[in-house]
Structure 1
Amino acid sequence: MRCQPPLKSMVYNWLNNNHACLLCDEPAEQPYPLCVACEAELPWLDDGCQTCALPLPMQGLTCAECRRRPPAFYRVEAPWHYGFPLDALISRFKYNSQWPLGNLLAQLLGRWLNHRYNEDLPRPTLLLPVPLSRRRLRQRGYNQAAMLARWLSGHTGIACNEQVLTRLLDTAAQQGLSARERQRNLHQAFSVTTSAPIEGRHVALIDDVLTTGATAQALASLLLKAGARRVDIYCLARTAKPGSA
């Protein structure tokens, strides 16, 4: 018996009532439940690496790691760095099934990307969510990256395909692992189920947070080998280098 209300109607009903700001409880006075003041105070990522979006002291720089070992993906697009209160919003969506928060963040990301496209950011033709293992999908009940990709597709008009990538291995959780450990953890963890939709195309991988970039690197390498022309990474937030502000 399916007791859970449909995801689409839950989110629609929640988002189309008179909104109070999710962060300060004042009237949002916007099409989404976030007031102008709180939106301005989100941890916007103003200065980041031109390739991986790692937070840096000023614009126009490339981090040492990307200069030393250029990644398989072309660039990362993330509007925020992973800080308060965005980290709490992402966690509530990802682990506590608070889907309207995910829809809100996807809408803000879509608005930000459309602005970037107007600034001549090359537009991909396909969105691909980072896949979850079957066991973790059963435990959580949903793949937050796939939900973000679906919503983002609606906000940008870019097609989304959830069938291209699959996770073969149920690897240990990435949290708490070093960059080298994450790379070993992901060795042969993913597969391209069909290369036809991506051959010769510019695609974008969708995830919630980019930490070391190990997952993005593994998937981008796989997609390029399968025939993709270019791979970008779209995520909500980029973490800072450990030990930095």
Structure 2
Amino acid sequence: MDCQPLIKQLVYKCLNIDHACLLCDEPSEQHHPLCLACEHELPWLDEHCSRCALPLPMAGLTCVQCCQRAPAFEQVVALWHYGFPVDSLISRFKHNRQWPLGRLMAELLGHGLQHRYDEGLEKPDLLLPIPLAKRRQRERGFNQAGMLARWLSVPLAIPCDERLLVRIRETTAQQDLHAKARRRNLRAAFSVMHGRMIENRHIAVVDDVLTTGATAQAIAQLLRKSGARRVDVYCLARTPKPGQA
């Protein structure tokens, strides 16, 4: 009789590892509810721009846009390409209230960030989620960026403030606009409450997906003008340029 499966099950129970994988429903055999096979199949973002995390053919490069005009943020940290199945997971988290999926992705992002801190990435003083438009927050019932920031805050031991950065003007949904229109759409859309709280501090802005970077740029500019020493952006996924695989 082969006792290996039984021994493995006992080990997992002793370690309180009894999750089912949220993608395939098989035993995850890990501390988070994702099996190794599904974890390896995620679209990990390995080669990307060193500033804005735009997917590139090689690692260690800076994209043309960031070379021509350096963004107000110092660095974007994203785990994945915005592709299957991550795009579906994010959509189900945001629009179908499948919060366990958001919690899982935040946990994996937290692991990735801790690894980068260990390798020398400067750890921020404060996490600020990108605020959602009031109308969309009423419709959705929650701000996905706020939930991600809270889930990151505890394991990373970084304070999170959901009231310091506010949206003061309703805007058209960004996904319906091209890049230049996105920038126009965000003019004077945000404000910082109690600006003295961010003076000379390193801030990390948290969101789910970075597309053109217009929102991150607008907020980073505002934070820098308000006295922030450095602004980074933490997100789950980064989209490629339109038409790029």
Fold match by TM threshold 0.5: yes
2:228 corresponding residue in structure 1: 228
Where does structure 1 lack aligned partners over 5 or more consecutive residues?
A: 1-15
Distance 1:180 1:194 in 2: 30
Report how far residue 176 of structure 1 moved.
2.8
Q: TM-score with structure 1 length normalisation?
A: 0.92
Distance 1:59 1:152 in 2: 26
Residue 170 (str. 1) matches residue 170 (str. 2): yes
Q: Runs of 4 or more off by more than 2 Å in structure 1?
A: none
1:143 corresponding residue in structure 2: 143
**Structure 1 residue identity aligned to 2:89:** L
Distance 2:156 2:146 in 1: 15
Computing the radius of gyration from Cα coordinates, the structure with the larger value is: 2
In 2 relative to 1, CA 35–17 (structure 1 residues): closer, same or farther, beyond 3 Å?
closer
Q: Tell me the alpha carbon deviations over residues 149-203 of structure 1, each in whole angstroms, 9 at most, x when there is no partner.
A: 0000012111101111100111010113111010011111111111122110001
Q: Tell me the alpha carbon deviations over residues 80-114 of structure 1, each in whole angstroms, 9 at most, x when there is no partner.
A: 11010011110000111111111111100001100
**Which secondary structure state, in structure 2, belongs to the residue aligned with residue 78 of structure 1?**
strand
Distance 1:197 1:100 in 2: 32
**Which secondary structure state, in structure 2, belongs to the residue aligned with residue 172 of structure 1?**
coil
**Structure 2 residue identity aligned to 1:157:** A
1:191 corresponding residue in structure 2: 191
**Structure 1 residue identity aligned to 2:118:** N
Q: Tell me the alpha carbon deviations over residues 102-134 of structure 1, each in whole angstroms, 9 at most, x when there is no partner.
A: 111110000110000000011101000000122
2:8 corresponding residue in structure 1: none
**Structure 2 residue identity aligned to 1:225:** K
Residue 153 (str. 1) matches residue 153 (str. 2): yes
Report how far residue 137 of structure 1 moved.
1.2
Percent of aligned positions that are identical: 66
Give the alignment's Cα RMSD to 1 decimal. Answer: 1.1
Distance 2:87 2:107 in 1: 17
Moved more, 16-25 or 146-155: 16-25
**Structure 2 residue identity aligned to 1:212:** T
**Which secondary structure state, in structure 1, belongs to the residue aligned with residue 174 of structure 2?**
coil
Conserved 8 A contact 2:202-2:231: yes
Where does structure 2 lack aligned partners over 5 or more consecutive residues?
A: 1-15
Report how far residue 27 of structure 1 moved.
0.7
**Structure 1 residue identity aligned to 2:119:** E
**Which secondary structure state, in structure 1, belongs to the residue aligned with residue 176 of structure 2?**
coil
1:88 corresponding residue in structure 2: 88
Distance 1:103 1:25 in 2: 17
Conserved 8 A contact 2:17-2:31: no
Residue 31 (str. 1) matches residue 31 (str. 2): yes
2:50 corresponding residue in structure 1: 50
Distance 1:81 1:176 in 2: 20
Report how far residue 18 of structure 1 moved.
3.1
Report how far residue 17 of structure 1 moved.
8.4
Matched residue pairs, number?
230
Q: TM-score with structure 2 length normalisation?
A: 0.92
Residue 114 (str. 1) matches residue 102 (str. 2): no
**Structure 2 residue identity aligned to 1:230:** R
Distance 2:227 2:36 in 1: 43
Distance 2:190 2:59 in 1: 34
